[in-house]
Structure 1
Amino acid sequence: MGKRHSKLAPKTLSELRDNTNFTVEELQDWYKEFKSNWPKGALTVEEFKKAYKTFFPLGDATEFAKHVFRVFDRNDDGLLDFREFVCGFSVVLRGGVQEKLKFSFQIYDINGNGFITRDEMSEVLSAMYRVECALSDDPDRDDPQQRSDTLFNQMDIDCDDNLSLEEFIAGVKKDPHIMKVMDIQ
Structure 2
Amino acid sequence: MGNKQSKLSQQELAELQKATHFDKKELQQWYKGFLKDCPSGMLTKEEFQKIYKQFFPFGDPSSFADYVFNVFDADKSGTIDFKEFICALSVTSRGKMEDKLDWAFQLYDIDGDGKISYDEMLAIVEAIYKMVGYLNAVEGDGGADSSPKVGSMVKLPEDEDTPEKRVKKIFRMMDKDENGSLDMAEFKEGSKRDETIVSALSLYDGLV
Query: What TM-score, normalized to structure 1?
Result: 0.91
1:142, CA displacement in angstroms?
Answer: 2.1
Q: Give me the whole-angstrom Cα distance separating, in 2, the residues matched to 1:14 and 1:43.
A: 22
Which amino acid letter does the alignment assign opposite residue 111 of structure 1? Answer: D
Indicate how the Cα distance of structure 1 residues 180 and 65 shifts in structure 2: closer, same or farther if over 3 A, else same.
closer
Unaligned runs of 5+ in 2: 134-149, 204-208
Which amino acid letter does the alignment assign opposite residue 174 of structure 2? Answer: M
Indicate how the Cα distance of structure 1 residues 182 and 83 shifts in structure 2: closer, same or farther if over 3 A, else same.
closer
Per the alignment, residue 182 of structure 2 pairs with 163
Q: Give me the whole-angstrom Cα distance separating, in 2, the residues matched to 1:178 and 1:85.
A: 22
Larger Cα Rg: Structure 1 or Structure 2? 2
Q: Give me the whole-angstrom Cα distance separating, in 2, the residues matched to 1:177 and 1:30.
A: 27
1:57, CA displacement in angstroms?
Answer: 1.5
Which amino acid letter does the alignment assign opposite residue 188 of structure 2? Answer: I
Per the alignment, residue 112 of structure 1 pairs with 112
Indicate how the Cα distance of structure 1 residues 82 and 181 shifts in structure 2: closer, same or farther if over 3 A, else same.
closer
Q: Give me the whole-angstrom Cα distance separating, in 2, the residues matched to 1:174 and 1:23.
A: 32
DSSP 3-state at the match of 1:127: helix
Equivalenced residue count is: 181
Residue 147, structure 1, aligned to residue 166, structure 2: yes
What's the CA shift string for 1:77-125, capped at 9, x where partnerless? Answer: 1000000011111112111111111111111000011110000000000
Which amino acid letter does the alignment assign opposite residue 72 of structure 2? Answer: F
Per the alignment, residue 80 of structure 1 pairs with 80
1:58, CA displacement in angstroms?
Answer: 1.7
Per the alignment, residue 7 of structure 1 pairs with 7
Unaligned runs of 5+ in 1: none
Indicate how the Cα distance of structure 1 residues 45 and 143 shifts in structure 2: closer, same or farther if over 3 A, else same.
same
1:177, CA displacement in angstroms?
Answer: 4.6
Which amino acid letter does the alignment assign opposite residue 171 of structure 1? Answer: G
Indicate how the Cα distance of structure 1 residues 183 and 8 shifts in structure 2: closer, same or farther if over 3 A, else same.
closer
Pairwise CA RMSD:
1.9
